[in-house]
Amino acid sequence: MNSSRARTLERALEKIRDDEALNAWSHLAIDEARSAAIESDARLASGAPRSAIEGRLVALKGNIAVRGWPYEGGLLNRRGIVAEHDAALVRRLREAGAVLLGQTRMDAGALGAEGRSIDGPIRNPRRPTHSVGGSSGGSAAALAAGHIDLAVGTDTIGSVRIPASYCGIASLKPSPDLIALEGILPVHPDFDHAGPMTSRAELLRPLLCVLAGLTHSTSSPVYPNVDQLLGSRSIGFMVDVERLGGTPNVIQHYRRGLDRLRSLGATLVPIDLTPLDPVKTRRAVFSLCEHAMAEQHRDELARKPEHYSSELRAMLDYGASLTPVKLDEYRSRVRHFAHAVHRLMLPLAALVLPTTPGQAFDYDGPTPTDLADLTVIATAAGLPAASVPLSTGNNLPVGLQIVTARGEDLLACDLASQFESAAHSA
């Protein structure tokens, strides 16, 4: 194998073997990937790439159907199930010439954000004793370890953004319905999204364009400066981070991130989110997800309760206990929150805030309860949100969340890329 994509694949496989202890991958399609890499190299050699991600290695979360691969969604009760067809987004990746390398581990059923799979915890490459976040934690670990540059995860309340923050990579929860969910195991239809995860923010846009079926001309822009991106609009910044659980380290990096945005020419205006009570909204969204999952798993849980961990059973039992009145109360809570956020966003190009209140936690310690308190804002409001590293290096990363108006996903990608580029040039 003398061609570049094939060589890249072999180097990736060697890294994956060396990093087996990270527990990031659940399935590798080595022969299939080798064939795809050879075909991609032939297209590149003839000057006929299919897209901006031609020949790139891609990992897919375990709840996304890939023909002939396990289709388990991290669930013990689905162990042994194999997908018969590709998910819609997988078909788009194949058409774009991507090389599908394998499948990554995840929290069971995507109903969690800790990075604990049924095959053990997924280890954070930045600090292996610590969480990767979830539920797309295996993809984040593979990206942070340098196995791949592109991955696809799913995000219901923060499941591509929390791992991005914890592992120092980039991700995007897109606008609802931008990326087709056909062939992806559901959590809740109102909140589920598939989203790109990348080693660098500049790769978000080309991967998003493939996944969403956008024209190739939009996938490789000449990035303008922030003034050109924003026009006369301002960026709102969350001022009440500490009141919503932000730790001193996160706040320190966040303030430096705001300074970087100002240096790029952005006009920043303060936004107070505490009156909207995102914590209550997160509880409402999660409860609705627990109910939806309880409905899906009712029969299987009754037949084989041993296939569900005690933690997952507790969530499903709670979801099953919710009355119609309580469910309506939660739905109303989410609707009112969404309307309030939309009003705040009207004069803004974007809203920035930390992706998570804290950094990756030690698996041997307690699990924070506020993992999704800041990611739920874009979820409940139905807005796109990118996560880009505020800091990496040898320390535990911190993520900055960039929320834009519905449909302005490419703006979120471009702002994330500009923000990251400024850090590298500083």
Catalytic residue list: 61, 135, 159
Tell me how far apart the terminal alpha carbons of the chain are, to the nearest angstrom.
39
- In whole angstroms, what is the distance from residue 23 CA to residue 141 CA? 9
> Cβ of 84: how many Cβ atoms within 10 Å?
10
d(CA 181, CA 414): 24
- Establish how many alpha carbons lie within 13 A of residue 268's alpha carbon, considering only the half-sphere containing its beta carbon: 17
Cα gap 244→292, rounded to integer Å: 27
SS3 state of residue 415: helix
Are β-strands 268-271 and 234-238 bridged in parallel, bridged antiparallel, or unpaired?
parallel
CB atoms within 10 A of CB 390: 26
In what helix (H) or strand (E) does residue 280 lie, and over which residues does it extend? Answer: helix 278-303
Distance CA 368, CA 361 (A): 8
Q: Nearest-CA neighbor of 396 among 292, 276, 252?
A: 252
Q: What are 153's strand-pairing partners?
A: 195
Please answer whether residues 69 and 61 qualify as being in contact, where contact means their C-beta atoms are separated by less than 8 angstroms.
Answer: no
Taking alpha carbons only, the member of 289, 98, 291, 110 closest to residue 209 is: 98
CA 130 to chain centre: 18
Write out the two tokens for 153.
Answer: 């995860």
Tokens 């999660």 appear where?
286
251, two tokens: 């706040």
135: preceding bond cis by omega (within 30 degrees)? yes
- 3-class DSSP state for residue 184? strand
Is residue 123 within 8 Å of 167, Cβ to Cβ?
Answer: no
147, 381 contact by CB (below 8 A): no
Token match 């890294």: residue?
A: 15
